[in-house]
Structure 1
Amino acid sequence: MNEIIIGCNIESPQDKDSGVKVFILNEPSEKLLYKFIVGMDGSWETLKDFGEEKSIQWKPEKCGNYILMVQAKKEDSTKAFDYVSRKHFSIGELNEKLIKNVYLDKDNIKVGEKITATVANENEGFMYRYFLKEKENWVLAKDYSTSNSFTWTGSTSGKGELLVQCKFLDSDKSFEDAIKVYFNVEEIEKVEIINFKCLTSPIIINEELVFSVEAKCDDSRTTLYKFIRINNDGQTKCLQDYSTKKLLSYNESSSGKYRLLCLAKDMYSDKEYDDRAILHYTVIPYEPIRIESFTSDLASPQVIAQNITLKAIAKGGRDLRYRYIIEGNKNEDSGYIRNSFFQWEAKESGDYKITLWVKDISSKEKYEACKTLDFTIDDILREPIKINEVILNKTEAVLTGEELLIKTIAEGGIKLLYSFIVSKDGEDYCKESYQEKVDFSFTPNEAGRFQIEVRVKDKYSEKNFDAHYIVSINVYDYIPASIDYLLTEPREYYLVGDQMVVDVIMRDTKNTLLKYVLSINGHKVEETEYVGSKRYIVTPKCSGKYSIKVYCKNEKSNKEFDALKEVNLMVKDAPPIMNTLLRCDKVNFYCNEPINVTAQCSGGKDVVYEFYLMEKSEWILVQSYSKKDFYTFIPFIKGKYKILVLAKSGYKKKSYEDYCMIEIKVSDKFLLNKDILLNLNITEEEMKILSF
């Protein structure tokens, strides 16, 4: 609409009371009526209403920035105007600036935070551009536009400057007014990794390894962490890209030495990382093998031909093998066997050295753990002393301060005496000398692994013991929490909006705390604090794979967690479409008569249907997918027709979920039964006419 150019006999600016002639420099070819208007500070005055005159004389009375406007319209036009044009004109030496002020929503920000500047200007018709000062140079941040606000991010700490330039819309000047404002960008607290550790011990292949990182940073900021695993050959693998997750868990499939690099940075930092830490760890194929006990069921000495059972208790490894080597007057070697016990029948008297080797079946070493014992076989016949059973009142976790009762059942000898030795970490904890009491009690006052050795000997024996038995127990300051089961509804999947309830079944529930972590399609969406509730309820709002990890720990535990279990549940937007049916509005079908078929099904969401028609042995798509569940057609020739409907949920991308097909036979409407016509005494000629 701006096809008219306004001209003035003198240039802007001019002194007050100067006479200014305003006229039309060029105009469209058609005949127009013109209206002259002048405005300042939002107030408008009509200098001359619509008429054929193409110029006026204007004498401004006040100093200021004026807008000269000309509206034009055709003589027979019903519009307010058909053309409009504007021109800026200044009168007097103006102290008033085009930019009243520039307001910042904040004067002090930290690196990475946003700040918004708003230019205060009561009038319209201006353009603004914005410069930021970077290293003593002005950089154009936003070119001329009519927007009087600008938002940017503080990327460099220190004192910042923003320059705003302003000019009229039709001005050919670089700018007509400018203002500078200052702001301060503070350096963020440096992110510093203060703790980086592995929570899993021992570190074994194909078992979950959990690493934890802790950083010192501004609590009001978001810190991101990236984990990169480096193997012994220097090959790297990113296990977690930058994320707020401080815990990393993964399974390592190969043993060896590894390094885990953790990079930490503030979310808005422009650096690759703000701090880093590296953790060296070794992944072993299995827990180191240790022999906790190597004993015999009969104490030395024994007589010839006595069956002696050598017993071993070993921990660690994945699949242990045991080898018993007997050296003396008659040597024996069991070779590596699966059993942890070996039956030895001493056939010659003498002093024997018995060696036990233990290793994992996968090991190429001679052995990984070794222990020996000495044994004497003599010709003296005596009734051997044998410990049949050692009974404890608690066999699982024992708490400090709880009394532990031990009872021994033994046979043989003349008069048996019993001694009990309790040791911890290889040192004696308490001891009871030989006496006739078969039971013993003690109360552990500290946590740890205790060994209880029961010794039995005949009253007249000169040996330290004739038979002994060792049992190990774990003593805790608290009972580590463990999860027995995670119970959910026995269903194949849930629907969006269905309530999912997970019940945690565990023992010692009064002293345990639980933390729930919900992930959807591998993305963590919720993590609770440790709470006492043994039930977790979530109502899904979208479809996908929901993974609920449940961490538990005793309220006295200083670990990240004592045990972990996970349950995976599937959530779908709608149940699958089933039982799709096609129904017709009639039973008999004739040419030239419409046939209506209607589809229905169960399940699905926003179900859409697609119809195919088979005519003359060819399928034709007659109605594309839509919510329209019926189809109408008119058969023009007799014969067999098939109608196929495909159904699916509207949001599904697959071709279809279910279908149904029916076959109909179309006949000539006026085809009469020949026998019926004959019974009505209708002649052959009349029958041909009727059939036709």
Structure 2
Amino acid sequence: MKGMEINFSLDSPQRKGEKIEINVDSKIENLLYKFFIGVDGVWSTLQDFSESNKYSWIPERDGKYIIMVQGRLKNSKKAFDYVTRADYIVGVDDESLIKDVYLNKEDYSVGDKINISVDTYRIPLLFKYWLRINDGWELMKNYCLENNLNFTANTGGVYDILIECKEVDSKNNFDDFKRISFKVKDIDNIEIKDFKCISPQIMVGEELVFKVDSENEKDRMLLYKFHKIDSKGNVRCIQDFSTKNLISYVEKEKGEYKLLCMVKDMYSPREYDDRALINYEVEPYKKVKIKEFTSDLNSPQLIDTEVNLKVIAEGGKKLLYRFIIEGNESKDTGYLRENNFIWKCTLEGNYLIRAMVKDISYDGEYEEIREIEYSINKKSSIPVIIKDIKLEGDRYHLINETINIKVEAQGGLDLKYAFIVYKEEKQVELIEYGDCNWVNFTPEEIGEYELEIRVKDKYSQKEYDCHSILTFNIKEYIPGNIDYVLLNSKEYYMVGDDINLEVISENTKDILIKYILRVDEHLVEETDFIKSKKYIFTPRCSGTYSIEIQGKNKRCKEGYDSKKQIKIKVHDTLPIINTKLTIDKTYIYINEPITLTVQNEGGRDVCYEFYIMEQGEWRRVQAYSKKNYYGFIPFIEGSYKVLVLTKSSHKKCAYEDYDIFEFEAYEEMKTPKSIVDYAL
């Protein structure tokens, strides 16, 4: 301890009988000293508290000693104020046995394997190993013939290894010894740098993916554990300690949740080295949003004109739409499943039209609302309307591929057409009003485009009489969608059966497929993305087999475009059927033995359990075993029933099949019916 230091007149080790002066150096004034000695766990007082800081010690036997000195200030009321210790070894053999001691590495860290090898001048010899970590000796291995020691460094600090060695027939505690020291480096601090959800939407029924980034030494292995906590405080472990720093699961209920991540070094003695908590809310569906609320005819319009009010919305699972018209002629449609409403107004005036949208499960009045102003005039004319818009091309639109759009409109005297292209709400192209009612659109970048079609009469003073907007999601390639997965037709799959899958998808030559096979949620096989659309496997054990099939276009750089999952139940054997009890006699008398035998089909390692009913009471007479027969003697005249339950030995159910056999037992002097009669 700081303030006191023990010095010896002779360096350790020494022979027994040598006089060794123990001296305590201290700069503390008015200090009293008390000397102790410990060997083999037993402590003795050498000198009680006094002003003398010296003691002459003559050891009488070999051993590993600990010298302890307590220091107490003269006016102190404590048992002692300072304490210090030192090790000393007594016992030296004139002839050395140990040549050298070797370590398998120069530098150690917590978790490393330490291998100590002793080189000696002759064999055989006995070896004893002691270990001291920072303070206090601990016996690692008692005397044995093994000249090496292997153990794991579980804590950091200074390690001292003492090897005692002696002849096989020696009666000494040891004939030679060697002491080596080395340092074990502690595990560097592990810190979670980032913990986030990387799923684009946090919704019920969707896969939620969370990622943890940690900082540590590159050659260390980290383990991650995840606990999910709901709003009621219920905790569930969704991943025990694993090297996976990416966790995914599907939440079935909406609500507020917390995800706790604990990280530790694989060799860390602590429960965890760092932890982080993330809060997130799982929504029942994507937020409802009105992208556009329009009418097919531009305001103002004439009385008795049919105006198609239309809402384009996204989000939710099943959307409902409500239209409220306020003015000289009011209208409330209530919530409808259709996203449009045909409004025919019979009174002129200015109107305010509201569109409300909500999911069918939402309890409130609405989740999103938009409104427009509209005017109805008296003057009669033929309105300009867009009857139809035709597109030429596939359902997928790709960059640098031309899309032909043709417009069919009616009304007015001389119709003119204009086309405006928007990307990310910015105008990127404009075709001014002209006679041409079609346009070729060739997108040169991926992204979402909007094409607005405007139609007006040549003599109209309005910006347009009617308009419509088309949306195009332009992709770099056609997504690798899996349309169908064909499975060989079979109702009952067993171990050893070949199971064939075939993936059906459009654009087959550009599609890559990845197959992930699991048995009872345990990963068995995971392929790379390959061209083969067929996958064959042969189950080797029973259980629930899950095959996840991921598809992507070969130009897809990350993740996958679509996936499907198929689950197949595989059984060990066929079920037990046609269980039948038979008896070995035609006529049955009391006091005579009979034997009933069981026959059945299916199963594996079938076991049998027998029950007998006599005098109206059932009792079990044979527990489940592989013995398929039962013999007994009826002692009482009357009706009997024998029940047999059957099941495969590996099944955990009560039984798979059964049979009941009934018969009458008679005294000998009576002539009973044959057992055949009872069977009939």
Q: TM exceeds 0.5?
A: yes
Per-residue Cα deviation, 1:110-152 (whole angstroms, up to 9, x for no partner): 5324344466789999764433331254333345566665432
Aligned residues: 581
Corresponding residue for residue 56 of structure 2: none
Separation in 2 of the partners of 1:191 and 1:487? 48
Corresponding residue for residue 78 of structure 2: none
Corresponding residue for residue 58 of structure 1: none
Post-superposition offset of 1:444: 1.0
Q: Which amino acid aligns with 2:321?
A: Y
Q: Which amino acid aligns with 2:267?
A: Y
CA contact (8 A) 2:308 2:343 kept: yes
Q: After alignment, is 293-302 or 506-515 more displaced?
A: 506-515
Separation in 2 of the partners of 1:216 and 1:529? 30
Change (3 A) 1:164 1:607: farther
Corresponding residue for residue 506 of structure 1: 505
What is the DSSP-based 3-state SS (H/G/I as helix, E as strand, rest coil) of the residue aligned with 2:453?
A: strand
Post-superposition offset of 1:626: 3.0
Corresponding residue for residue 13 of structure 1: none
What is the DSSP-based 3-state SS (H/G/I as helix, E as strand, rest coil) of the residue aligned with 1:483?
A: coil
1:8-19 matched pairs, under 5 angstroms: none
1:604-619 matched pairs, under 5 angstroms: 604-613=603-612
Separation in 2 of the partners of 1:610 and 1:233? 47
Corresponding residue for residue 448 of structure 1: 447
Post-superposition offset of 1:427: 0.9
Corresponding residue for residue 377 of structure 2: 378
1:104-143 matched pairs, under 5 angstroms: 110-117=109-116, 128-143=127-142
Change (3 A) 1:636 1:339: closer
Separation in 2 of the partners of 1:361 and 1:638? 72
Corresponding residue for residue 643 of structure 2: 644
Post-superposition offset of 1:99: 5.9
Corresponding position: 1:569 with 2:564: no
Separation in 1 of the partners of 2:671 and 2:310? 100
Corresponding residue for residue 83 of structure 2: none
CA contact (8 A) 1:293 1:470 kept: no
Q: Which amino acid aligns with 1:482?
A: N
Q: Which amino acid aligns with 1:385?
A: V
1:392-431 matched pairs, under 5 angstroms: 392-394=391-393, 396-431=395-430
1:18-57 matched pairs, under 5 angstroms: none
Corresponding residue for residue 14 of structure 1: none
What is the DSSP-based 3-state SS (H/G/I as helix, E as strand, rest coil) of the residue aligned with 1:510?
A: helix
CA contact (8 A) 2:159 2:184 kept: yes
What is the DSSP-based 3-state SS (H/G/I as helix, E as strand, rest coil) of the residue aligned with 2:509?
A: helix
Corresponding residue for residue 295 of structure 1: 294
Post-superposition offset of 1:649: 1.8
Corresponding residue for residue 316 of structure 1: 315
Separation in 2 of the partners of 1:516 and 1:366? 46
CA contact (8 A) 1:107 1:184 kept: no
What is the DSSP-based 3-state SS (H/G/I as helix, E as strand, rest coil) of the residue aligned with 2:201?
A: coil
Post-superposition offset of 1:460: 2.6
Post-superposition offset of 1:193: 5.1
Separation in 2 of the partners of 1:294 and 1:134? 76
What is the DSSP-based 3-state SS (H/G/I as helix, E as strand, rest coil) of the residue aligned with 2:432?
A: strand
Post-superposition offset of 1:338: 4.4
Corresponding residue for residue 678 of structure 2: none
Change (3 A) 1:411 1:278: same
Change (3 A) 1:147 1:663: farther
Post-superposition offset of 1:575: 2.8
Per-residue Cα deviation, 1:577-614 (whole angstroms, up to 9, x for no partner): 22222234454456776544332222222122234455
1:328-339 matched pairs, under 5 angstroms: 328-334=327-333, 336-339=335-338
Q: Which amino acid aligns with 1:602?
A: E
Post-superposition offset of 1:423: 1.0
Corresponding residue for residue 468 of structure 1: 467
Q: Which amino acid aligns with 1:479?
A: I
What is the DSSP-based 3-state SS (H/G/I as helix, E as strand, rest coil) of the residue aligned with 1:343?
A: strand
1:228-247 matched pairs, under 5 angstroms: 228-229=227-228, 238-247=237-246
CA contact (8 A) 1:328 1:352 kept: yes
Corresponding position: 1:582 with 2:581: yes
* Bigger radius of gyration among the two: 1
Change (3 A) 1:625 1:146: farther
Q: Which amino acid aligns with 1:474?
A: N
Corresponding residue for residue 598 of structure 1: 597
Separation in 2 of the partners of 1:572 and 1:144? 56
Corresponding position: 1:626 with 2:612: no
Separation in 1 of the partners of 2:99 and 2:585? 81
1:252-401 matched pairs, under 5 angstroms: 252=251, 259-279=258-278, 281-334=280-333, 336-360=335-359, 367-394=366-393, 396-401=395-400
Change (3 A) 1:660 1:97: farther
Post-superposition offset of 1:346: 2.0
Per-residue Cα deviation, 1:540-561 (whole angstroms, up to 9, x for no partner): 4443333333344434334434
Corresponding residue for residue 164 of structure 1: 163
CA contact (8 A) 2:93 2:176 kept: no
CA contact (8 A) 1:299 1:385 kept: no
What is the DSSP-based 3-state SS (H/G/I as helix, E as strand, rest coil) of the residue aligned with 2:263?
A: strand
CA contact (8 A) 2:609 2:623 kept: yes
Per-residue Cα deviation, 1:199-255 (whole angstroms, up to 9, x for no partner): 322222453322233556677654321224466798865443322333322344665
Corresponding residue for residue 546 of structure 2: 547
Q: After alignment, is 178-187 or 237-246 more displaced?
A: 178-187
Corresponding position: 1:557 with 2:556: yes
CA contact (8 A) 1:399 1:478 kept: yes
1:76-155 matched pairs, under 5 angstroms: 110-117=109-116, 128-143=127-142, 150-155=149-154
Change (3 A) 1:318 1:416: same
Change (3 A) 1:353 1:231: same
Q: After alignment, is 384-393 or 592-601 more displaced?
A: 592-601
What is the DSSP-based 3-state SS (H/G/I as helix, E as strand, rest coil) of the residue aligned with 1:164?
A: strand
Per-residue Cα deviation, 1:307-344 (whole angstroms, up to 9, x for no partner): 22211111123443434344555454545554422232
Corresponding residue for residue 659 of structure 2: 660
Separation in 1 of the partners of 2:505 and 2:178? 69
CA contact (8 A) 1:492 1:570 kept: no
Post-superposition offset of 1:447: 1.5
What is the DSSP-based 3-state SS (H/G/I as helix, E as strand, rest coil) of the residue aligned with 1:375?
A: strand
Corresponding residue for residue 86 of structure 1: none
Runs of at least 5 residues in structure 2 that lack an aligned partner in the other structure: 1-91, 673-680
CA contact (8 A) 2:195 2:212 kept: yes
Post-superposition offset of 1:288: 2.5
Superposed CA RMSD: 4.0
Q: After alignment, is 156-165 or 432-441 more displaced?
A: 156-165
Q: After alignment, is 430-439 or 118-127 more displaced?
A: 118-127
What is the DSSP-based 3-state SS (H/G/I as helix, E as strand, rest coil) of the residue aligned with 1:597?
A: strand
What is the DSSP-based 3-state SS (H/G/I as helix, E as strand, rest coil) of the residue aligned with 2:380?
A: coil
Structure-1-length-normalised TM-score: 0.72
Identity %: 44
CA contact (8 A) 1:119 1:149 kept: yes
CA contact (8 A) 1:395 1:473 kept: no
Change (3 A) 1:629 1:102: farther
Change (3 A) 1:589 1:145: farther
Per-residue Cα deviation, 1:409-462 (whole angstroms, up to 9, x for no partner): 222222222222121111112222222222211111112111111111222323
Q: After alignment, is 599-608 or 524-533 more displaced?
A: 524-533
Corresponding position: 1:459 with 2:446: no
CA contact (8 A) 1:396 1:473 kept: no
1:467-486 matched pairs, under 5 angstroms: 467-486=466-485
What is the DSSP-based 3-state SS (H/G/I as helix, E as strand, rest coil) of the residue aligned with 1:598?
A: strand
CA contact (8 A) 2:134 2:159 kept: no
Post-superposition offset of 1:399: 1.6
Change (3 A) 1:561 1:244: farther
Change (3 A) 1:212 1:121: same
Separation in 2 of the partners of 1:655 and 1:235? 34
Corresponding residue for residue 436 of structure 1: 435
Separation in 2 of the partners of 1:228 and 1:411? 63
Change (3 A) 1:437 1:404: same
